[in-house]
């Protein structure tokens, strides 16, 4: 089963570009507000890792690191807030399957919420 996502839309949402680390993993480094982020997308295992740190998200112990199963990445809209990027565990986009929700605020910052059933 292949991960369903549009790489260019994710790049546009997060403001960075993916680089291919190897045949299976893509990496994106980007910044929002005063925070630096690192996103790894592993299509073969249908998983993502998101790391954030004010200095270096690639350091051994970043401020936050979230790893989850992800078969689908979709963009949506939060009414009166802004665009939202949803990382879902299954192809069903219902809220019970959303594992990571990234909202871009009007100020250009990212709000990250994790969800597990």
Question: Is 2 part of a structural domain of the chain?
Answer: no
Question: Is 65 part of a structural domain of the chain?
Answer: yes
Question: Is 1 part of a structural domain of the chain?
Answer: no
| DSSP codes of every residue in 39-76 | EEEETTTTEEEEEEESS-TTSSS-SEEEEEE-SEEEEE
* Residue 81: predicted pLDDT: 82
pTM of structure: 0.92
Rounded CA separation 75/94 (Å): 13
Domain count, the chain: 1
Per-residue pLDDT of the chain (117 residues; tens, 9 = 90+): 678 999 999 999 999 999 999 888 999 999 998 999 999 999 999 999 999 999 999 999 999 999 999 999 999 988 888 899 999 999 888 888 999 999 998 888 899 999 887
Nearest to 40 by CA among 20, 56, 55, 54: 20
Q: What is the pLDDT of residues 91-108, one digit of tens each?
A: 888 888 999 999 998 888
* Parent domain of 36: 7-114
């Amino acid at each position: 089963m292949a991960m369903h996502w549009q790489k260019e839309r994710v790049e546009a949402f997060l403001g960075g570009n993916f680089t291919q680390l190897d045949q299976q993993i893509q990496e994106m480094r980007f910044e929002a507000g005063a925070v630096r982020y690192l996103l790894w997308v592993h299509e073969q295992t249908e998983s993502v890792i998101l790391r954030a740190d004010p200095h270096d998200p690639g350091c051994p112990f970043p401020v936050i690191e979230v790893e989850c199963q992800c078969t689908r990445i979709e963009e949506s809209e939060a009414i009166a807030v802004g665009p939202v990027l949803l990382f879902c565990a299954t192809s069903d986009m219902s809220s019970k399957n959303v594992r990571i929700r990234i909202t871009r605020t009007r100020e250009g910052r990212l709000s990250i919420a994790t969800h597990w059933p």
